[in-house]
Structure 1
Amino acid sequence: MKSTKTFIYGVLIGVLAVTMFSSKAVMVKLAYQYEVDAISVLLLRMLFSFPFYVFIAFLYRNKGNDNAVQRKDFVWLVFFGFVGYYLASYFDFVGLTYIKASLERIILFIYPTIVLVFNKWFLSKPITKIQVGAIILTYIGVVIAFWDEVAISGDATFLGGIFIFLSAVTYASYLVGSGWLIPKFGVVKFTSYAMLVSCVCVFVHYGIINKISLLSFPWQVYGYGFLIAIFATVIPSFLVSASIKMISSSNFAIVAGVGPISTIVLAAIFLNEKLTLLQCLGAAIVIIGILFVSLKKETKN
């Protein structure tokens, strides 16, 4: 009975975490209504997140297998923090200036297919015929949703889609490349360090290209920046870890399918975004394909 309750709680925590993560795109779009650019909103996200990850990194400084960590491992950690959390986030925020939040989540949700391809190319891990079919199905869904939006919103959708796809690619490369480092540092410690690297990268980026004072934004923008940092970044990152611990990563892959759905619902409520029937069909195909890819991947491992 206890294990059943634990599983139920784990699923509920997972749904909450995925929904909170999915709210990021909606809050970013809400912040854009006040005529701020992508790097400014990303800066506020990292600025408000920074103290929490400093505190977490301090708490976990003695965790992990420190004897196995070498100097070159820190170099790789900086690289993956740059690619996986800075570049991926920046591409995502820029892409959201061009496309709807619901479409962003549909495109971004394909990153597990890219992980499979990278594992095949760089780690020689086989891809089964069933997985190939699931990948093809997924991209058919993306094309259906994407092309229908192009017909409605115009060519700017192409640029937004490219940036979101680059976000998925960079995040997938982070997942593939950092796998061997995480056991050395520990999950929480590695994530905290990588997030701190990305925070510094964003601070430097903003300092170089932006001439706008950090204190010149409307108060609503600071509010959204805080909400994105706390409720769509810090808290759900720990809820995901808790959920996976309670229900396993393979079951969490099923729960993750709530992501695009929750974004579509939140975008409809707060942004008045509406998907056409074709876009809903594309989203459904993407979700089915990715869930199948994820489940097959977990079974394989």
Structure 2
Amino acid sequence: MTTTQAAVPAVSLPRSALVAGLAIAVAGAVLFSTKAVLAKLLYRYHMDAVTLIAFRMLFSLPVFAAVALWKMRTAAPLSWSDRWRLVGLGLVGYYLSSFLDFLGLQYISVGLERLILFLTPTFVLLITGFFFKRRISRAEWLALALSYCGIVLVFVHDLNGGAGSTVIGSLLVLGSASSYAVYLLGSGEMVRRIGSLRLVSYAMCVSSVACIAQFFLLRPAAMLVQPMPVYWLSLANGIFCTILPVFMTMVSVQRIGAATASQAGMIGPVSTLFLGAIVLGEAITAVQLAGTALVLGGIYMLSLKK
């Protein structure tokens, strides 16, 4: 999910426009969360994270490359400093974050993965507090405490249930969330200057090239030959869980503002929990629901801050 400046405040919109914007935001959040379920299905075909993410980017790169080329033709050229900054943002925000996320999914449930990724705003807050000396208020500390109590609750639940190497998987996904937080902090000023569409398309192209190059460096080209279900699942992962959510998030932010769109995106962890149960057969317990409620409550409190 990308961050842009708030567009029109939701309160100034007609009800029909607000509902449409909320629907787009919710649909984008659900689609983006579905990538974890598709990854679990792809792992059943004995794929590894390197191959999985390469297939995802192979199917999504043509669209992002087309948008990037269009923006290159219609917008002013970037300075060399901005170009290098975009390369860095693409490698940290989409390549590293996605790779660590898919690595972690080999070990933990989709419900826990989505909750940990949902902690990204708390990492942004902590980084700005400790490294940029921004004061963290009592309400924000309470929000952080709620969120992390929820994660600990679900983590201990999964640990007791013997769900793979939960510690390793959780640490990998924590790395994914923290690297994406760094991307959000680094992209904040740039997105105001060059626009969200341009930034995302360029950064995704950098990420895609890195993921595909990594595959050819670490895996034989023969691994591109896979059973047909792998191609269909990867196509769905590239289109419905990567391309569409990115653009739907941008549209919803432009329609209803970043704050309202982020609140609508809270449906993501809940949808992942139920999709995991329906598609993958992962159990939903009272402890998981309680942990999810704590995390969502904490993130909601943070979203109310301007």
The correspondence for 1:51, drawn from 45, 62, 73, is 62
Q: Which consecutive unaligned segments of at least 5 residues does structure 1 have? A: none
Poorly superposed stretches of 4+, deviation over 4 Å: none
| Alignment-mate amino acid for residue 43 of structure 1 | A
Cα separation, 2, equivalents of 1:118 and 1:192: 26
Query: Contact between 1:63 and 1:185, CA under 8 Å: does it hold in 2?
Result: no
Cα separation, 2, equivalents of 1:13 and 1:36: 32
Q: TM-score, normalised by structure 2?
A: 0.92
RMSD: 1.6
| Alignment-mate amino acid for residue 217 of structure 1 | Q
Cα separation, 2, equivalents of 1:231 and 1:282: 28
The correspondence for 1:172, drawn from 174, 178, 181, is 181
**Residues 208 and 60 (structure 1), Cα distance of their counterparts in 2 relative to 1, 3 Å cut:** same
The correspondence for 1:61, drawn from 72, 76, 83, is 72
The correspondence for 2:190, drawn from 151, 169, 181, is 181
Who is 1:25 aligned against?
Answer: 36
Cα separation, 2, equivalents of 1:186 and 1:247: 17
Identity fraction in percent: 35
Cα separation, 2, equivalents of 1:87 and 1:103: 19
Query: What is the Cα deviation at residue 63 of structure 1?
Result: 5.0
Matched position secondary structure for 2:14: helix
Who is 1:6 aligned against?
Answer: 17
The correspondence for 1:287, drawn from 280, 283, 296, is 296
Query: What is the Cα deviation at residue 212 of structure 1?
Result: 5.3
Query: What is the Cα deviation at residue 295 of structure 1?
Result: 1.8
Query: What is the Cα deviation at residue 187 of structure 1?
Result: 0.8
Query: Contact between 1:146 and 1:279, CA under 8 Å: does it hold in 2?
Result: no
Cα separation, 2, equivalents of 1:203 and 1:78: 15
Matched position secondary structure for 1:292: helix
Query: Contact between 2:107 and 2:163, CA under 8 Å: does it hold in 1?
Result: no
Aligned residues: 295
Cα separation, 1, equivalents of 2:148 and 2:224: 42
* 1:101-132 deviations in Å (ceiling 9; x for gaps): 11110111101000111122343332211001
Cα separation, 1, equivalents of 2:52 and 2:141: 37
| Alignment-mate amino acid for residue 35 of structure 1 | H
Cα separation, 1, equivalents of 2:134 and 2:172: 27
Cα separation, 2, equivalents of 1:288 and 1:119: 21
The worse-fitting range, judged by mean Cα deviation, of 213-222 and 105-114 is 213-222
| Alignment-mate amino acid for residue 55 of structure 2 | L
Q: TM-score, normalised by structure 1?
A: 0.94
| Alignment-mate amino acid for residue 139 of structure 2 | I
Who is 1:195 aligned against?
Answer: 204
